[in-house]
Structure 1
Amino acid sequence: MADYEFDFGLLKELTETSGVPGYEDRVRDVVRRELEAHVDEVRTDAMGNVVGTVEGDSEYSVAVAAHMDEIGFMVRHVTDEGFVQLDALGGWDARVLKAQRVRIHTEDGDVTGVIGSPPPHTLSEEQREKTDEVKDVYVDVGLDGEAAKETVDVGDLVTMEQTTVEMGEHVTGKALDDRVCLFAMLAAAERIEDPDVTVHFAATVQEEVGLRGATALGFDIDPDLAVALDVTVANDVPGFEAGDHVTALGDGTAIKLKDGSVITNPKVHRRLRDVAESEGIAYQHEILPAGGTDTAGFQKTHGAKPVGAISVPTRYLHTVTESAHVADVDATIDLLTAFLDSETGEHDYTL
């Protein structure tokens, strides 16, 4: 069994709980429950962002953000034959959806469905060569047309059905993006007791559809410093050159230098590096060529603000087999905690 210090049971609960963009209700309940035990105040805004605040000894404030939403779908049509068609919420590669089980969240309860895949030997050459798209996906719910339309409504939410398990030295399942970082944030909130600065632990919404929750929240709480947590690409698998790995599992938490949406403040990422080295925490640098995170959401609102980001290296992003190394999860929690513990509000992040 892998050696790690974190609460796997809570990580499993967070990743297996549903919460697509704009409908993060179920996972939000878990987050509120966990924050209320460790912070001075918990509040939720009109978009659904949750903020747990630990009051510090100064007026200087730090926002730590991790998003609650997972990529999923909304029902757009139920055919006369009883098959359900979907509209994507977030960035899906339709190739990974074949032969997967899903959960449709209806007003009367959850309904299981499958995205079927016809036997390959029955496909024509044209069907074999066709590019997969989400709009062409059909969910089989095992009902005839009339019963299906009575059970499933347009607008119902759909998530992938998958459990989170230990696999060697890794954890694997759905929605590690970004529940593993949400978990790391909650773990840090549990450890922080008497900070010099006020810390806002923010669980944000609608990141997967445009960083919407963080952008609004950055305006509302107006922090002096923001640190976002998200997963990052680990293409350390066969088929990729070393220079394209971005990060590698087991090499430590990742300190972001840039992604497709943000260039982090050099003084912030250098201080993250210095804290990691002084505490003996394994780390690696992250240069992500595409994709965005809540880091940019905080940087773009309410004036120029210093931002940094810590990432959990993760293989197979935006699939149901996302995988992270347990040591990297521990390192992420350790670095975030040490960084917040050492933040006095007196560091000069201006350039």
Structure 2
Amino acid sequence: MAVELTETSGVPGYEDRIRELVRAEFADSVDRVRTDAMGNVVGTIDGSTDYEVAVAAHMDEIGFMVSHVEGDEGESGFLKLDALGGWDARVLKAQRVTVHTEDEDLPGVIGSPPPHTMDPEERETPPDVEDVAVDLGLPYEEVEDRVSVGDLVTMDQSTELVGETLTGKAMDDRICLYAMLQTAQAIDNPDATIHFCATVQEEVGLRGARALGVDVDPDLAIAMDVTVANDVPEFDEGEHVTRLGEGTAIKLKDGSVITSPKVHRRFKAIAEDEGIDYQLEVLPAGGTDTAGFQHTHGAKPVGALSIPNRYMHTVTEAVHRDDVAATVDLLTAFLEREDGTADYML
């Protein structure tokens, strides 16, 4: 299931294919499923109390929208792109992509000129997304006929086991979506009513979670997302944030939120009681759906679990299988203990 989730395409605002997979997975694990006007999917397990918890993981991946079809009659056609989410254009060169039109999926490549044909200034100048062009290997007339402005583009990459890691595109946030779906299957007869929320448009401003925070209005919200693991040679130890293989990450803060102290302390206490590996996350920048719930419908206690992720926002994102398992174990143990009696007020 994790491979299917990561390899399936779904950019912000167009999460349709992922939404179908999520609804199918929810069918046997929750009491009811609904989809809202933005496309968020909520699978609810009814509890024995009035206390409600929301758990959120986002469905969208970073990608592109076609902004222009470029070329001349009798020559090759190319696509210019507008980014959907935060891309570093340096990782886009010489990559395969898929162009999603209304009628079909087309393979394409983002080319890169041979380095020996570039002058020193060109080689040293960082590219911009606006400089990128998709080559479909087709004449301009055919490209113009088959592709429209507004069509979508995603990276084309398989998901592979590399040693103890799973690597591919869209681990952000499909691996947490997978962990959330696994947790929903593991929960049975909870005290709290639990809303498992597969959210949309996180990569362009936490938009789905902000709407959902109003509609669901939980007593407690828990977000799930990947986090930076800079545990590679070019970074000093103090820049790692998290390390692969050392367990799930209990978030203390990121660029959008400071999690509720009593919530993250409860996560820590349960992990220690259950012997679940964990690490603490202080992420200097970046945001998660945690803030989306905290900013709506009044003050709410919030927490977050993160899965460490190397090479974030590239096509070779990598997560460790033990960290994924620890995240499922800790989230399940936490939710099974939620009955409304824990005091998260400051």
Structure 1 length normalisation: TM-score? 0.97
Q: What is the aligned partner in structure 1 of residue 123 from structure 2?
A: 128
Residue 141 of structure 1, aligned match among 133, 136, 139: 136
Superposed, 1:190-229 pairs within 5 Å as: 190-229=185-224
1:129 deviates by 2.4
Asked whether 1:177 is paired with 2:172, we answer: yes
What letter corresponds to residue 60 of structure 2 in structure 1?
D
2: CA distance between counterparts of 1:72 and 1:17? 12
Q: What is the aligned partner in structure 1 of residue 89 from structure 2?
A: 94
Q: Could you list the per-position Cα deviations for residues 25-65 of structure 1 after superposition, in whole angstroms to 9, with x for gaps in the alignment?
A: 00000000001111000000000000000000011100000
Q: What is the aligned partner in structure 2 of residue 5 from structure 1?
A: none
Residue 275 of structure 2, aligned match among 259, 263, 280: 280
2: CA distance between counterparts of 1:207 and 1:190? 24
1:124 deviates by 1.6
Asked whether 1:57 is paired with 2:48, we answer: yes
1:17 deviates by 0.5
Asked whether 1:13 is paired with 2:8, we answer: no
Asked whether 1:166 is paired with 2:177, we answer: no
Q: What is the aligned partner in structure 2 of residue 290 from structure 1?
A: 285
User: What secondary structure does 1:201 align onto?
Assistant: strand
Q: What is the aligned partner in structure 2 of residue 252 from structure 1?
A: 247
Asked whether 1:42 is paired with 2:30, we answer: no
Calculate percent identity across the aligned residue pairs: 70
User: What secondary structure does 2:138 align onto?
Assistant: coil
1: CA distance between counterparts of 2:220 and 2:27? 23
Q: What is the aligned partner in structure 2 of residue 156 from structure 1?
A: 151
Residue 60 of structure 2, aligned match among 69, 72, 77: 69
Asked whether 1:346 is paired with 2:337, we answer: no
1:108 deviates by 1.4
Q: Could you list the per-position Cα deviations for residues 225-259 of structure 1 after superposition, in whole angstroms to 9, with x for gaps in the alignment?
A: 00000000000001111111000000000000000
User: What secondary structure does 1:149 align onto?
Assistant: helix
1:344 deviates by 1.1
1:261 deviates by 0.3
What letter corresponds to residue 23 of structure 2 in structure 1?
R
User: What secondary structure does 1:215 align onto?
Assistant: helix
Superposed, 1:95-114 pairs within 5 Å as: 95-114=90-109
What letter corresponds to residue 45 of structure 1 in structure 2?
D
1:130 deviates by 2.2
2: CA distance between counterparts of 1:101 and 1:15? 16
- Structure 2 unaligned spans of 5+: none
Q: What is the aligned partner in structure 2 of residue 32 from structure 1?
A: 23
User: What secondary structure does 2:267 align onto?
Assistant: helix
1: CA distance between counterparts of 2:48 and 2:20? 29
1:107 deviates by 1.2
What letter corresponds to residue 321 of structure 1 in structure 2?
T
Superposed, 1:228-239 pairs within 5 Å as: 228-239=223-234
2: CA distance between counterparts of 1:231 and 1:138? 29
User: What secondary structure does 1:101 align onto?
Assistant: strand
1:131 deviates by 2.1
1:272 deviates by 0.3
2: CA distance between counterparts of 1:175 and 1:37? 25
- Structure 1 unaligned spans of 5+: 1-9
What letter corresponds to residue 20 of structure 1 in structure 2?
V
Asked whether 1:302 is paired with 2:293, we answer: no
Q: Could you list the per-position Cα deviations for residues 298-319 of structure 1 after superposition, in whole angstroms to 9, with x for gaps in the alignment?
A: 0000000000000000000000
What letter corresponds to residue 227 of structure 1 in structure 2?
I
What letter corresponds to residue 93 of structure 1 in structure 2?
D
2: CA distance between counterparts of 1:129 and 1:70? 29
1: CA distance between counterparts of 2:37 and 2:123? 46
User: What secondary structure does 1:141 align onto?
Assistant: strand
Residue 325 of structure 2, aligned match among 318, 327, 330: 330
Q: Could you list the per-position Cα deviations for residues 189-224 of structure 1 after superposition, in whole angstroms to 9, with x for gaps in the alignment?
A: 001010001000000000000000000000001000
Superposed, 1:312-331 pairs within 5 Å as: 312-331=307-326
Q: What is the aligned partner in structure 2 of residue 23 from structure 1?
A: 14
Asked whether 1:116 is paired with 2:111, we answer: yes
